[in-house]
Structures are given as C-alpha cells and as structure tokens.
Structure 1
C-alpha cells in the first residue's frame, strides 16, 4: 500500500505542476488542455469504477478551459485522498467489474486499476511536455525521482 500511496502523491504533485505550467504559457493551447483534461476525466472515471459507480456515461474527452481543469485537479485530489484513506492492503487484490464507455464489461483488481491510472496520466503528461516544448515553453520535470527529491 505504501508504494501505491507514493505513486498517488506523485500523481497529485505532477497534475499540479502541469496545471501551473499551463497557466504560465502565453496563450491558451486547446490541444494541450484537452490532453490534460483527458487525464483528469480519466481519474474521475476510474475512481467511480473503484467505488462501484457506473462510469459508462462519464466523459473521458471533452473540450474545457483551464479554469475547469483547475477545479478537476482539486476535486480529483480530494477524491483520491479520500479513497486511499479507506483502502487497505487486502483491498488491492479485490476484483472490480465495470463497463467502459462502449458498454463492454471488464474486470481488474484494484491494484491493477490504481497502477493503470498512475501510468496513464504519466504517459499523457509526457505528451503534454512534448507539446509544451514545441510551443517554446520549458517542459515540467515530472520524474518520480524528482518528486521524491523535492
């Protein structure tokens, strides 16, 4: 459970760094914001699934502005912390059955889902950094080891 906790502390930290970085670029870049909001919407979807809530109608892609992303960052942090406060080591091996947005049913362990959410966000934050660099902005240092050192 300690590793999962650290991974989510890193996820929250990385989301805040990307948010700050997007606030610092000269003009709003909808493509970059769309990628960032996808990370945030996906976190909402997976947290719903972990709590047994039907997520099949929740958006995973939407055109929103940076202010809306800021609200999602805060909401997701609260939801993640609340979930991890009650999750136990034994819970990690429990299987969750859920439907995706196309109505297909899947099942995974809580450990697999929690790991996926962290890796999914990290992948897309890397894409965001690539796009930031192409816009002439300095990419955010988001490596886990950098988080641990800071």
Structure 2
C-alpha cells in the first residue's frame, strides 16, 4: 500500500507541474477571466492539501476557509503547490505503515468535526486535486489549448519507459 501511495503522490506532483506548464500559455490580459478561474480552482485544492497536511502531521493550519481570500499569482501558486507536493512525497516515504490506518480527529474550516484515517486523508487529497485539475483542463479546452495528458497510465509510462517494452506484455 505504501508503494502505491508513493506512486500516487509522484503522479500528483507530475500532473500539477504539467498543468502549470499549460497555464503559462494563457495570456493574462486576453484571458483574464479564465486564468482567474483556473487559479481559484487550483488555490482551492491546494488549500485543502495544506489543511490535510496539518491534520496528517498533527499541527495547526492557518486557513479559516477552503480557499484564499486573495487570488495568488500563477508563479506564487506554482511555488507553493510544488512545495506541498514535495511534503506529501516525503510524508508517504516516511510514514509508518501502521500509522496509515490510525484514525485522526480534526475540525473542518466550517467548524464541523471529522475523523479519517491517514490513508483516507491521503486518498482524499489526491482525488480532490485530480477533480479540480480536470476542471482547469476543461477551461484550457475551451480556450483551444490542449490540456496536459493527466492520466495515471501516461505518468507511469513517461516515468518508467521500460513499461513500453514488448517483452513485458503478456503473451497468448
């Protein structure tokens, strides 16, 4: 299970980076509304990742909502997302296997109480980010910009090109 989490968070960092590369193609003047919407969506999934980072590490987060008040710049958001991706990649390398199934109690930003295992939190963050990357990709399509090829299979084959070798395929 831990190996799958390591792979999942490698994929997440790869997919986030590819999305930022595509967002660099937007014209901030001509595509202001679309860029703003994309930044708000990414900021939201990033804030949620930061909140769950605090839950996972047993620390207090700084957020009072599931998004920032001000919209960050593309460069600032990219820097922050990259740092958080690195945190998650390191966390899944270091967390003890028995800690993954331990429930952790926390409070949502709206005041509701919650309890999830660390494993569930990690899955939530990755799936939540993927949903919002998909929304941003739809914005890119509407602007006639081909979005990144954000699929797990593409990630595996780009990062492990040997998977494309014929002898690895089953015969029959």
- Post-superposition Cα deviations, 1:69-98, rounded to whole Å, max 9, x if no partner, equal 122122212321332232022111011110
Moved over 3 A (4+): 55-59
Secondary structure of the 1:17 match is helix
How far is the alpha carbon of 1:58 from its aligned partner?
Answer: 4.6
Q: Does 1:85 find its partner at 2:86?
A: no
Q: For the residues of structure 2 that align with 1:38 and 1:100, how far apart are their CA atoms?
A: 14
Q: Which residue of 1 aligns with 2:57?
A: 51
1:128 to 136, 155, 158: 136
Please say if residues 103 and 117 of structure 2, whose CA atoms lie closer than 8 Å, have aligned partners that are also in contact: yes
Q: What 5-or-longer segments of structure 2 have no aligned partner? A: 159-172
SS at match of 1:97: strand
CA distance in 2 between counterparts of 1:92 and 1:106 reads 16
> Does the CA-based 8 Å contact 2:137-2:148 persist in structure 1?
yes
Q: Is the 8 A contact 2:103 2:115 kept in 1?
A: yes
| Cα separation, 2, equivalents of 1:83 and 1:59 | 24
TM-score computed with the length of structure 2 as normaliser: 0.81
Work out whether residues 6 and 92 of structure 2, in 8 Å CA contact, stay in contact via their aligned partners in 1: yes
Shift of 1:121: 0.6
What is the DSSP-based 3-state SS (H/G/I as helix, E as strand, rest coil) of the residue aligned with 1:78?
helix
For the pair shown, which has the larger CA radius of gyration, 1 or 2? 2
